[in-house]
Structure 1
């Protein structure tokens, strides 16, 4: 007998599918069908399943499996004597309220003439203590309708296990449907085991997404949303509050692993990262809690997502309190978001303050509070659960008449007897608080789901209506086929007595959750407040009502790297999550006016980035103006040159009859001074905003002025050479070819050639104002573009040709005997002139924008000053400072 119990316990906890094969096989003698399943519950095992049961009689019995106790006893197997189970301990209030919500729903249904008329529902409830093997034993007990004892003997033959069982039948009814209050793992085991029997299961707590698979769990239904929905809500909250760096603490089961999987899928495209993912195992909870607490302490994540049972969270919070980690914002799953044991634990209040959680939706059940307050052990002598609650609540012992009651209440001998006047009418405890029912309301809904499925199955077709495949006959409450009931449950669609629409989407119901917040109350304790609700895909959240872990309404920040400000872009760090990045300033000409952007965008061609690289602004037009420093310097130099030239002109005009002025061809000297003045003044045309006429005038004025200047120098040099050559015998007629008329004609001829070149150039392809956008900068260079480089080259080439010719002639005449030979000054001045303009070409080409204009002006001024100083400075020196040398005798002397 004990060996059978041992094998059943071991197999059900490790391999329910193997257990099913053994039990459904022909060697077990299991009878499947309308008669249900007969299982054995052995009194010699001491299992709580047969002792802690609650039942009523009726036409149809609904089964209930609840985890009423959370501390199952250890199983001591020494293979010497039969195993023995001690009673479970740690009565839980929430499952107890859910159990009574099932009873209350049955009372409502039985008193409702429109729902299952003429049929009375009853119930049979067992406590599984949260153990999978006991839940499986209880399910078979409910399905088989067994309440008896049995004798079993295991026999091992040829490596096969044969269970020879002798049945002692009782009159207990089998149940067509089971209301399950166990966790998801237990629900999976039960559904897989009862699936081949088509026994429907309606769970109000199993939320694992895996149970939505109709292929694997065709007989499973639930009145709690799938965990996929709450994981999605968590992801939406993270995205909404810009939490990009989140830690995760998970239970070591499908509840935690599937939740984080869905969470990561939802945040994948939203820039949210999981900083760490730690596991809490129930078997090693103390060691795991210490490890996870240290991880949270050293992590930069300020928001921690926790998907595990509330008892595990209590241990974790205790370790966090020990190391004084009180500044983390916790996101709670529905498994602990409404845990009052945590909420009212003063030692954990600093750690738990500000918890934001997803909770099973709350609802009220009218009349349920009155039902609970009427409960009394004297009216329910067989209700051992109420007896245990009563003794714990009032601290007294009820009369013990049964040995099993004594076993269930080990403290009865040490506490006084109850007076009988104890009542729940005035008790303000969690048990009687029905203002926010969650799990209990789901259990209430599960009973109505079963009732409406039975109502649909037992309903007769209307007289005169055409028969259908599903409603051709009336079913009897004593002849219910589980498979037919399963078909009707799939189609359930009804309105609850409180006006709520209910229907299934496969195995699930539409997602409805409450969002709760743990806030500090005026008395210093923590209270739970509803601050939002999720209905389907609509999230309604009152952000202003949230009190965060910091104690303020300011949303906490949890990021690996602070969001990049406008003007910068994100650059991911190699080998690190995408949430960890550096902020790189946008390059010149690129902008970014968004926070946290991955890239900068280039400004349009006529725009440039502002100093902060947050906006594109029109480029400033840049040209050599009179207002800037360089423009002022060049203007001053040009005007000064023109003034000096004018002064020299006046001096020469005043001393025009002196030998120095007359000896050096005064007419050409005056013309040369005039041309130099034009050269200085033409530099001013290059300064200022370019226009159509200024672009045309500046190059023409420059080219003609310098040709006039060089022509005068060249003619003067030729005259000097002709004068000395004519003094030789036989050369007396040479000077007649270089008289005054010929000199004027030569200057005019040379100048006219340049005029013709400029006229042709300006007529065919003149320089025009141009906005230079090719240079990527904050300014647009406004300049005179050379539409024809050939024209400009010809102008410069002609000037260069005359200058070189003049330099050659002056060089030949530099040593002619004379006290004042002007040729040597012309030679020196032309050397300076040629040097300046040779250096001008590469400098002009390589200078950008207005600087090329400045280079040209500098070349004009430098060459003009060179000519002015080299040619006229010595003469002015003699005229003004050495008048004694300004005589014909001195000039003619050798």
Structure 2
């Protein structure tokens, strides 16, 4: 390699270092199509003298660094772009579980690292990375081949990236015969042109997709190849063989030469290719240098085309001047394409994606099924026609799948398996209140407060609005019960009014009886306010109407009890209670006790009144429209005050239960207060353990039960006497002692 470099500088075989022995013009630049490793070695010598080195084959990304390699130019994209194209292909088909095979040279290992990082960034995983070397002994290579072959057969991946950057590496894949393995997709890179048909062994599978640089035909180039005299060109054995191949009858007429000898040196004819190898890249490379030279010379002489000796003397320092013009070169080639170097020192050249189709007759076709142009706008850089791809019959799904775990459907989320890559996961259902709308979601998304997941948990639907309505069975039942007791109450009130002058009605304080019956009617009616859609008015009326109505009823009962005790105490000789007998005590008791409850309710309303509240968290999938009590302390103060009145009434009535009078109601009041207290003590525990509309139903039942208890225990015995035992409803029974 060093000898070849010296020969180039000296322009003579067996040249001397630092001597130019030729008589031709000044060396302007070096154009080469060598492998990347050799190209980098040549640069170490050419770079010393600042000679531009233009490569139409090297894809070494490190050589694109203008700081470290200022005199090196590439007319093909670096491997960074082809790696990005492979990653886009994986992403397009959803292939997240792959393996990588590559040579162990520096450039290939760099490409492997880029592929690994890109696959990971796109949510994919690499099960294995296996490297090999063509420089080892045959026995070591065969051992490595067997190891890789076994690995591919035992692996669960269905997509294998077979990366290589030189033609010699292709042999390793032929030796591995990985293209004969069923159920595996091979993604590879090819740096030379494949013939449209090529004889291969039978049994190869339609599972290979290759990235190759775009190749195009140069107009009139076929005519030039067909008519040029090779004697005017440099020649050696390989070049002579190449020209002789063009004499083969299998070559197309557009490039077939008329030769005296009809002899070929190769079975695979290069004349069968569509674009004559690297002619497109070489053409662009030569014209890049030509335009740079032209721009440099024109900048010195304007439009002059003189060939005086001054021109050649100025061109003595070509390498020093040419770099500035190479970097800024910009022209249109014969195909009308813009040719220029971007900020990274790359030409805007795209890739074709080829599908290798193996035919039953033992040949292959290489069909272009897509493209990748790293310089196109986002969204237009990658195209593929998946309908044009021919897959082998062994694949159960088209296109084939390659995943460590099956995709998690909407409604599920991924949970990474412990100790395995992120592509290996289990699918679990989204928790309550969350959904996933796409496949393979890492986390589920919470629904808005007023919505809830559907059954599949892949969409949020409005929550069901719940409240105790008149239309539902429970609401209808409670309404009928309330109206039934209201009717009974009205009937009893009518009986008492109709028999207002009878002894039993008059003996039990007729006015308090009317007031108690009316307040009980209000209690039955206020239970209806608890049913229906809660709003601001009904929430305020619920508790205040209930508290004040019950306080009037209990105050009336307490007044009745006090009057009974005072009546018997006043009959004793010398009792001073006679002057208190009358309506003043009873009215004062009812008024005072009721007003106290009214003040409590007003304080509640002015400080923290009840209000409608949308409870979205009490029950799953529902919105409970309920009345928030505002102040729970005020609510229990109202209930506590009612309990206090009931307790006082119970104590007084219990002490007066044995007073001698057939019409004495102390016994009935005692029992009614016992029923009342039992109902509300049970209510507290039940109320705290229920939710939503059933909490409202519990309170309604407590109101109805306690009101019905008062109504039945106090008034049913009197109605029994009035209606069924009229003989008992006389004055003589009023004063008769128990022992009579």
Q: TM-score, normalised by structure 1?
A: 0.66
Spell out the pairing of 1:609-758 with structure 2 (5 A cutoff).
Answer: 614=458, 619-646=463-490, 648=492, 664=508, 668-669=512-513, 671-731=515-575, 734=577, 737-739=580-582, 741-742=583-584, 745-746=587-588, 748-750=590-592, 752-753=594-595, 756-757=598-599
Pair 482,787 (structure 1): closer, same or farther in 2 beyond 3 Å: closer
Question: CA offsets, 1:55-113, max 9 Å, x none?
Answer: xxxxxxxxxxxxxxxxxxxxxxxxxxxxxxxxxxxxxxxxxxxxxxxxxxxxxxxxxxx
Pick the aligned partner of 1:833 from 676, 680, 701. Answer: 676
Task: Measure the CA separation in 1 of the matches of 2:113 and 2:171.
Answer: 24
Task: Measure the CA separation in 1 of the matches of 2:150 and 2:320.
Answer: 53
Displacement of 1:466: 14
Task: Measure the CA separation in 1 of the matches of 2:333 and 2:348.
Answer: 17
Displacement of 1:362: 0.6
- Equivalent residue number for residue 262 of structure 2: 422
Pair 666,472 (structure 1): closer, same or farther in 2 beyond 3 Å: farther
Spell out the pairing of 1:213-612 with structure 2 (5 A cutoff).
Answer: 213-214=65-66, 216-266=68-118, 269-282=121-134, 283=136, 284-308=140-164, 312=169, 315-316=172-173, 319=176, 325-335=181-191, 338-339=193-194, 344-347=199-202, 349-350=204-205, 353-370=206-223, 372=225, 383-385=236-238, 422=262, 430-433=269-272, 435-449=274-288, 462=301, 473-475=310-312, 495-504=332-341, 508-518=345-355, 520=357, 526-538=364-376, 539=381, 541-547=383-389, 549=391, 555-562=399-406, 564-570=408-414, 572=416, 575-583=419-427, 585-590=429-434, 593-602=437-446
Task: Measure the CA separation in 1 of the matches of 2:66 and 2:423.
Answer: 38
Task: Measure the CA separation in 2 of the matches of 1:681 and 1:699.
Answer: 13
Task: Measure the CA separation in 2 of the matches of 1:783 and 1:463.
Answer: 92
Task: Measure the CA separation in 2 of the matches of 1:228 and 1:682.
Answer: 80
- Equivalent residue number for residue 27 of structure 1: none
SS at match of 1:363: coil
Question: CA offsets, 1:216-244, max 9 Å, x none?
Answer: 54543333222222122223333444443
Pair 886,287 (structure 1): closer, same or farther in 2 beyond 3 Å: farther
Pair 882,581 (structure 1): closer, same or farther in 2 beyond 3 Å: farther
Gaps of 5+ in 2: 249-258
Spell out the pairing of 1:115-154 with structure 2 (5 A cutoff).
Answer: 135-147=1-13
Tell me if structure 1 keeps the 8 A contact 2:213–2:349. yes
Question: CA offsets, 1:573-602, max 9 Å, x none?
Answer: 555444445555555455554555554555
Displacement of 1:203: 2.7
Displacement of 1:810: 0.9
Tell me if structure 2 keeps the 8 A contact 1:621–1:780. yes
SS at match of 2:347: coil
Question: CA offsets, 1:680-724, max 9 Å, x none?
Answer: 222111111223443343334322322232233223323332344
Tell me if structure 2 keeps the 8 A contact 1:461–1:474. no
SS at match of 2:310: coil
Question: CA offsets, 1:808-857, max 9 Å, x none?
Answer: 11111123355675323322221232233345456556755444433322
- Equivalent residue number for residue 186 of structure 1: 38
Pair 641,478 (structure 1): closer, same or farther in 2 beyond 3 Å: closer
Q: Does 1:806 align with 2:659?
A: no
Task: Measure the CA separation in 2 of the matches of 1:678 and 1:456.
Answer: 107
Tell me if structure 1 keeps the 8 A contact 2:560–2:586. no
Task: Measure the CA separation in 1 of the matches of 2:462 and 2:344.
Answer: 62
Displacement of 1:801: 3.1
Pair 478,707 (structure 1): closer, same or farther in 2 beyond 3 Å: closer
- Equivalent residue number for residue 855 of structure 1: 698
Task: Measure the CA separation in 1 of the matches of 2:447 and 2:315.
Answer: 82
Displacement of 1:444: 4.0
Task: Measure the CA separation in 1 of the matches of 2:553 and 2:429.
Answer: 55
Question: CA offsets, 1:330-363, max 9 Å, x none?
Answer: 3222347x5459964244531xx25333212211
Task: Measure the CA separation in 1 of the matches of 2:539 and 2:111.
Answer: 75
Displacement of 1:483: 5.7
Gaps of 5+ in 1: 1-134, 150-164, 396-418
Mean Cα deviation higher: 710-719 or 744-753: 744-753
Task: Measure the CA separation in 1 of the matches of 2:624 and 2:287.
Answer: 82
Question: CA offsets, 1:625-645, max 9 Å, x none?
Answer: 223344334334323333444
Task: Measure the CA separation in 2 of the matches of 1:745 and 1:180.
Answer: 120
Aligned residue-pair number: 710
SS at match of 1:474: helix
- Equivalent residue number for residue 625 of structure 2: 782
Question: CA offsets, 1:154-182, max 9 Å, x none?
Answer: xxxxxxxxxxx9xxx99998994544333
Task: Measure the CA separation in 2 of the matches of 1:232 and 1:671.
Answer: 91
Computed over aligned residues only, the root mean square deviation of the Cα atoms, in angstroms, reads: 4.9
Task: Measure the CA separation in 2 of the matches of 1:694 and 1:452.
Answer: 91
Displacement of 1:807: 1.1
Tell me if structure 2 keeps the 8 A contact 1:833–1:867. yes
Tell me if structure 1 keeps the 8 A contact 2:207–2:391. yes
Q: Does 1:864 align with 2:716?
A: no
Task: Measure the CA separation in 2 of the matches of 1:329 and 1:860.
Answer: 77
Pair 263,554 (structure 1): closer, same or farther in 2 beyond 3 Å: same
Task: Measure the CA separation in 2 of the matches of 1:572 and 1:486.
Answer: 54
Question: CA offsets, 1:353-384, max 9 Å, x none?
Answer: 25333212211133444555569999999742
